[in-house]
Amino acid sequence: MDAELVVGDLLDCDDMQPRLDRVVKGVAVQDNALLRSAYTMTLLEKRLLMLAISKVDHYNAPARGQPIQVEVTPEEWARIYRANNPWVDLNKAADMLMSRVVTIYPTEMNGRMRKRRMNWTDSCEYHDHKVVIRFGYSLSLELAGMIDEFAQADLLDVAKLDSMYAVRLYEMLKQFADTGWMTITIDEFRLAMDLGKKYPRFSELNKRVIQAAVDGIKKKIPEMCLSVEHIKRKGSRAVTSLKFTFRRSEQQDLFSNIEGDTDW
């Protein structure tokens, strides 16, 4: 069945005062739907996005029509990412992030498969010593009020990684921190990395994306003990899935009193 394309809400939020979140926890908590989504951005933008998400009060959903906004300072950027020019990096990342779109891939609703597309940000305001990032209302609903399917990524780990593919793989693995393994089909992996028609041959995909991401994590976060296995179709040489194995997280979950289903 063809997927129905649903563009993000067109709610007029001009009359609704945005909610300013100032949570300081050093952990970016995301709904699993966002982790499975497809989007393209640079490592610089991804670092800003993760830092901004870490400030969201993920326990409490926004009021109807109310977007969430956060403030990011160059001092915070420098402390986490050890940048030489934090203000330049912060402004450049905010400029680029404004044009980025995320696609949340098909979920079934009312008997039909659909996918949703939305902008990451609604606006960015540039002040003397901070950038105020406002998430759109549709995106805000994906960032706050989560009660079951979510994952958390440590910003200090994210700061160590030097490629977008490594960061994306790292945060996907965090969905399965309690089990220590993740199995994903090649098609799902390609969607999550937003590869489109890039690297159609598995040998190219493996060299430039899969193994590059794995090696990046193994080098920068060796304590994860990450490894990958290629799963082939029975009686065939074609690789159909990937199984990633890593050390289970010993960190207590932020929602330790809630059991979530993290199946891909």
pLDDT at 150 over 90: no
pLDDT tens for 27-57 read 999 988 888 899 999 999 999 999 999 999 9
pLDDT of residue 120: 94
pLDDT of residue 43: 96
pTM for this prediction? 0.84
Ranges in the chain annotated CATH 1.10.10.10: 1-160, 163-264
Least confident piece of the model among 57-71, 109-123, 129-143: 109-123
Q: Which CATH architecture has domain 163-264?
A: Orthogonal Bundle (1.10)
pLDDT tens for 234-247 read 778 899 999 999 99
pLDDT of residue 114: 74
pLDDT at 231 over 90: yes
Half-sphere exposure of 239 (CA within 13 A, CB side): 20
Answer for the pair 103, 37: CB distance below 8 angstroms, yes or no. Answer: yes
CATH no., domain 1-160: 1.10.10.10
pLDDT of residue 157: 95
91 φ/ψ angles, rounded to the nearest 5 degrees: -65, -40
Beta-carbon contacts of 227 under 8 Å, excluding residues fewer than 6 positions away, are 214, 244, 245, 246
pLDDT at 158 over 70: yes
Residues forming beta bridges with residue 28, ordered by sequence position = 153
